[in-house]
């Protein structure tokens, strides 16, 4: 029986040992799905603290309940370790490590390279390796394959190598690792077959594609699609501002089209570990091939200008009250990168706060999901959302629209609210002067406009 048949048998009878490298928002949910499917799972992470807390049954990932971790640890189906030598015991390994951008917005492949080295030092005949981290097309074949074959193992015969993009949407109440279709592309057809069998053991829908490059590009298309369309609606917000039109009304009306349209909403910029970064992996690869990906570059330009656009709106709104930004007290509502999560990575709120402080504003923030964060080596705490805090602020700026904030309370006690997310569109007329993202007006309460 060949290596492929042996591995398929061990996957089918659940005797295969599965490794997951990187126990973050992608790796930990995946490890739990493999464990729940009946496999023994070895989670490898370089953070000893993460491994220790997981072994105590504590989850650091919002979408993974601690009870689930504790159950799998207790059942002996999941172990978290910072010892890379444990990877030797694995028949299949999924890599879910970060792929950030460097300061010059070039791919930072250091985590993928470190994981590849750890696996190369511990791989053996019959092993399947799957890269899940978002990366430029060609990584699996150009970076991982040579390193593994340098161990004297032939990909497609002795070992199997595939790419399968992660599609985790943190905080999504409906779509999880198990029910989100899983694209799988391999370096050879045998690699696709084995990787599809592995993921098919615990994920409802498998979508095999013909190559690792195709799978790498699927992910980049998905997230470039988002970045470009968010850039489009952000530009539409600026267009509506200049025309004095409510961009939210335009978008909501356009969204009634039952075909050929998909709703995106403007905001103060884009954050997260996917959308602002992933498209630049493709742009970088294409630059190496002397091609300029203009859509990606333009979307990035517009999206990264939005914090400045918001700060200009705040300055104009304060000016209407004969106030300068300099010396004004400004309360930012919501600093996570999107609503109802605690993740702040790449959040545009930090750009808005920085730009306001550079102009001399005294900035506080309130975010029920982010009570404090580390800034320049020291801890910065949010303030409670009280009547006094709202009355004290010269301007309140809604940057992230968490559902659990009482926006009626905000508009009842604040004097000026700059709303970048249209959360006040549903509040009753109140004391506050509300300035929306696109200039409907800068002074007339929304309710009175209906008669103009």
Catalytic positions are 274
Query: Is 193 among the residues that bind ligand SAJ (CB under 6 A)?
Result: no
**By C-alpha distance, which of 438, 452, 451 is closest to 250?**
438
Cα–Cα distance between 285 and 277 in angstroms, integer? 13
Is the CB of 167 or the CB of 313 nearer to ligand SAJ? 167
Is the CB of 126 or the CB of 279 nearer to ligand SAJ? 279
Question: Taking the complex as a whole, how short is the minimal distance between the CB of residue 25 and ligand SAJ, in angstroms?
Answer: 9
Question: Taking the complex as a whole, how short is the minimal distance between the CB of residue 175 and ligand SAJ, in angstroms?
Answer: 7
Which residue, judged by CB position, is nearest to ligand SAJ in the bound state?
Answer: 272
Quote the DSSP letter at residue 89. Answer: G
Q: Maximum CA pair distance of the chain?
A: 82
Question: Taking the complex as a whole, how short is the minimal distance between the CB of residue 278 and ligand SAJ, in angstroms?
Answer: 7
Question: Taking the complex as a whole, how short is the minimal distance between the CB of residue 110 and ligand SAJ, in angstroms?
Answer: 20
Which residues inside 195-234 make contact with ligand SAJ, applying CB under 6 A? 222-223, 226, 230
Is the CB of 237 or the CB of 396 nearer to ligand SAJ? 237
Which residues inside 267-306 make contact with ligand SAJ, applying CB under 6 A? 267, 270-272, 274-275
Is the CB of 277 or the CB of 317 nearer to ligand SAJ? 277
Is the CB of 209 or the CB of 230 nearer to ligand SAJ? 230
Residues 152-191, mask of contacts with ligand SAJ (x by CB under 6 A):
--------------xxxxx---------------------
Question: Taking the complex as a whole, how short is the minimal distance between the CB of residue 56 and ligand SAJ, in angstroms?
Answer: 28
Q: Near ligand SAJ by CB under 6 A, which window of 74-82, 266-274, 376-384, 423-431?
A: 266-274
**By C-alpha distance, which of 419, 414, 418 is closest to 390?**
414
Cα–Cα distance between 399 and 183 in angstroms, integer? 34
Question: Taking the complex as a whole, how short is the minimal distance between the CB of residue 264 and ligand SAJ, in angstroms?
Answer: 4
Give the list of residues 6+ apart from residue 26 with CB closer than 8 angstroms, or none. Answer: 96, 132, 133, 166, 168
Quote the DSSP letter at residue 67. Answer: H
Query: How many secondary structure helices (H) and strands (E) does the chain include?
Result: 16, 15
The span from the first CA to the last CA of the chain, in angstroms, equals: 80
Is the CB of 168 or the CB of 405 nearer to ligand SAJ? 168
3-state helix, strand, coil in the chain (%, to 5): 40, 15, 45
Beta strands in 249-370 (DSSP E): 329-333, 362-366
Question: Helices 48-55 and 66-74: crossing angle, nearest 10°?
Answer: 80
The upper half-sphere exposure of residue 449, i.e. CA atoms within 13 Å in the direction of its Cβ, equals 14
Residue of 78, 199, 337, 350 that binds ligand SAJ (CB under 6 A): 337
Which residues inside 362-381 make contact with ligand SAJ, applying CB under 6 A? none
Q: Near ligand SAJ by CB under 6 A, which window of 97-105, 246-254, 259-267, 412-420?
A: 259-267
How many amino acids of this chain bind ligand SAJ (CB under 6 A)? 19
Is the CB of 313 or the CB of 338 nearer to ligand SAJ? 338
Query: Is 265 among the residues that bind ligand SAJ (CB under 6 A)?
Result: yes
Cα–Cα distance between 368 and 335 in angstroms, integer? 9
Q: Which residues of 370-398 are buried (b: 16+ CB within 10 A; e: fewer)?
A: beebeeeeeeeebeebeeebbeebbbbbb
Query: Is 264 among the residues that bind ligand SAJ (CB under 6 A)?
Result: yes
Q: Are 8 and 197 in contact (CB under 8 A)?
A: yes
Contacting residues toward ligand SAJ, per CB under 6 A: 166-170, 222-223, 226, 230, 264-265, 267, 270-272, 274-275, 337-338
């Amino acid at each position: 029986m060949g290596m492929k048949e042996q591995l398929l048998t061990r996957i089918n009878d659940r005797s295969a040992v599965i490794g997951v490298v990187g126990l973050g928002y992608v790796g930990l949910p995946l490890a739990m799905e493999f464990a729940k499917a009946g496999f023994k799972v070895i989670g490898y992470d370089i953070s000893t603290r993460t491994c220790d807390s997981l072994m105590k049954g504590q989850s650091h990932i919002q979408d993974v309940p601690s009870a689930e971790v504790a159950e799998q640890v207790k059942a002996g189906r999941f172990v978290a370790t910072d010892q890379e030598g444990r990877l030797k015991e694995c028949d299949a390994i999924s890599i879910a490590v970060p792929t950030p951008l460097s300061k010059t917005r070039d791919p930072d492949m250091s985590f993928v390279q470190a994981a590849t080295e750890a696996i190369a030092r511990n791989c053996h005949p019959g092993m399947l390796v799957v890269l899940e981290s978002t990366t430029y097309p060609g990584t699996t074949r150009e970076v991982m394959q040579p390193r593994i074959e340098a161990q004297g193992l032939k990909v497609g015969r002795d070992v199997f190598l595939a790419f399968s993009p992660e599609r985790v949407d943190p905080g999504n109440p409906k779509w999880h690792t198990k029910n989100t279709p899983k694209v799988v592309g391999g370096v050879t057809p045998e690699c696709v077959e084995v990787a599809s069998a592995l993921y098919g053991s615990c994920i409802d829908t498998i979508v095999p594609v013909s190559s690792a490059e195709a799978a790498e590009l699927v992910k980049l298309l998905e997230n470039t699609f988002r970045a470009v369309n968010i850039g489009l609606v952000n530009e539409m917000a600026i267009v509506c501002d200049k025309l004095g039109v409510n961009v939210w009304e335009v978008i909501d009306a356009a969204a009634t089209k039952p075909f050929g349209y998909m709703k995106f909403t403007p905001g103060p910029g884009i954050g997260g570990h996917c959308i602002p970064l992933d498209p630049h992996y493709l742009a970088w690869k294409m630059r190496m091939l002397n091609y300029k990906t203009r859509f990606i570059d333009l979307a990035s330009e517009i999206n990264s200008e939005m914090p400045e656009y918001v700060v200009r709106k705040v300055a104009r709104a304060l000016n209407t009250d004969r106030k300068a930004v300099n010396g004004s007290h400004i309360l930012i509502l919501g600093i996570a990168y999107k609503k109802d999560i605690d993740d702040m990575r790449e959040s545009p709120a930090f750009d808005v706060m920085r730009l306001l402080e550079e102009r001399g504003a005294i900035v506080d923030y309130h975010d029920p999901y982010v009570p404090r964060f580390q800034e320049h080596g020291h801890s910065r705490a949010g303030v409670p959302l009280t009547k006094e805090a709202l009355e004290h602020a010269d301007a309140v700026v809604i940057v992230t629209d968490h559902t659990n904030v009482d926006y009626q309370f905000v508009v009842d006690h604040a004097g000026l609210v700059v709303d970048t997310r249209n959360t006040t569109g549903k509040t009753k007329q109140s004391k506050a002067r509300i300035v929306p993202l696109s200039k409907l007006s800068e002074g007339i309460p929304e309710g009175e406009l209906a008669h103009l």
